[in-house]
């Protein structure tokens, strides 16, 4: 059974389609990223899936429950951490979690015990008020609040917006720990690095539609696979080097199992940089270096790189104008 399932999910505001027929299938115990520009529909999707908005059309299930007909069961099966901190800064972390526990109808003793478990789990045993917490600690407290009922599905809407790199890393670590314990996480983010680090699969959303879906590596492969970048020491031999790199990379591609041909060689005269797409990264790197060495051409630097999610994102999306 899928943890989250959506088919032809739609939500309109007047004549504007915030969600225009999206499909999602999120496996249990995984992190699924919703990636897209502002206004793409990410937050609207989360609001529909968490029963805060009714869909205009289509259907969706969370933890096996229909988001329209079984809203109460859905809400008992999920945690939601929104874009903005929901904790009371005057209260301590313990008091915040006990309060959330009581709001979820836990008894006083059960709420107190659950708060203690979560404070230890998320490294939040500081006894001062939440206003003394760092940004990362506050977001970890938000995560802990979302886990009061140990829900099987956790929705994280832009969880690291505004955090510094250290605090962002703390949140990533906490999310990975949750997933290791069996929690399913649906994550919306604009941070491409975040999606690359955390998500098992990614749905790229633009203008209310899913325009691509797959693992991070599968999405990167859409741009043609790896590139071999070589910096030549002698600018006078750049043209000769480009021809050698192209031939060697083509030879490596011809020997590959899929028989794929190497693409066009790109040359940057100013940086003495030669770049070519390759299929078999190790074989291509070896053959190019051997060929350049045989021709007596010195290499200053060499690297094989994969396309980044930034490049995928820019190739797939056109931006939006409001959620």
Only one residue has tokens 């959620």, namely: 323
Count of domains for the chain: 2
Domain span at 289: 225-255+263-306
| Local confidence band at 163 (pLDDT 50, 70, 90 cut-offs) | confident
Report if residue 103 sits inside a domain: yes
Report if residue 158 sits inside a domain: yes
Give the tens place of pLDDT for each residue, 8-64. 999 999 989 999 999 999 999 999 999 988 888 999 999 999 999 999 999 999 999
For residue 297, give the 3-state DSSP assignment: coil
Report if residue 316 sits inside a domain: no
In the chain, the percentage of residues whose pLDDT exceeds 90 is 60
Report if residue 319 sits inside a domain: no
Report if residue 162 sits inside a domain: yes
Indicate whether 239 and 209 sit together in one domain.
Answer: no
CATH of the domain at 160: 3.40.50.300
Report if residue 145 sits inside a domain: yes
- Whole-model pTM: value is 0.76
Indicate whether 170 and 154 sit together in one domain.
Answer: yes
CB atoms near residue 44 (< 10 Å):
24
Indicate whether 147 and 234 sit together in one domain.
Answer: no
Report if residue 52 sits inside a domain: yes
Indicate whether 45 and 105 sit together in one domain.
Answer: yes
CATH of the domain at 271: 3.30.70.100
Helix H or strand E segment including 58:
strand 57-62
Q: Please report the pLDDT score of residue 250 as a whole number.
A: 80
Indicate whether 205 and 118 sit together in one domain.
Answer: yes
CB atoms near residue 105 (< 10 Å):
10
DSSP-assigned states of every residue in 256-267? STT-PPP---EE
Burial of 247 from C-beta contacts in 10 A (0-12 / 13-18 / 19+)? middle
């Amino acid at each position: 059974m899928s943890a989250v399932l959506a088919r032809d999910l739609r939500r309109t505001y007047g004549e504007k389609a915030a969600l225009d027929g999206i499909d999602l299938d999120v496996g249990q115990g995984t992190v699924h990223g919703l990636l897209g520009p502002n206004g793409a529909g990410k937050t609207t999707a989360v609001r529909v899936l968490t029963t805060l908005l009714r869909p205009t059309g289509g259907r969706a299930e969370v933890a096996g429950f229909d988001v329209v007909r079984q809203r109460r069961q859905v809400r008992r099966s999920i945690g939601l951490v929104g874009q903005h901190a929901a904790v009371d800064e005057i209260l301590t972390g313990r008091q915040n979690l006990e309060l959330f526990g009581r709001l979820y109808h836990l008894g006083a003793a059960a709420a107190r015990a659950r708060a203690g478990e979560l404070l230890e789990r998320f490294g939040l045993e500081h006894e001062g008020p939440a206003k003394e917490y760092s940004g990362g600690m506050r977001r970890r407290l938000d995560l802990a609040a979302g886990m009061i009922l140990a829900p099987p599905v956790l929705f994280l809407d832009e969880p690291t917006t505004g955090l510094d790199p250290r605090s962002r890393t703390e949140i990533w670590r906490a999310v990975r720990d949750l997933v290791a314990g069996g929690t399913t996480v649906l994550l919306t983010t604009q941070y491409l690095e975040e999606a690359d680090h955390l998500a098992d699969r990614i749905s790229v959303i633009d203008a209310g539609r899913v325009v691509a879906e797959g693992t991070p590596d599968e999405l990167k492969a859409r741009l043609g696979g790896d590139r071999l970048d070589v910096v030549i020491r002698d600018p006078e031999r750049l043209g000769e080097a480009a021809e050698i790199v192209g031939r060697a990379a083509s030879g490596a591609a011809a020997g590959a199992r899929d028989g794929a041909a190497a693409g066009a060689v790109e040359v940057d005269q100013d940086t003495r940089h030669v770049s070519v797409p390759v299929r078999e990264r190790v074989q291509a790197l070896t053959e190019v270096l051997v060929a350049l060495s045989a021709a007596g051409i010195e290499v200053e630097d060499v690297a094989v790189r994969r396309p980044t999610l930034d490049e995928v994102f820019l190739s797939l999306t056109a931006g939006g104008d409001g959620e």
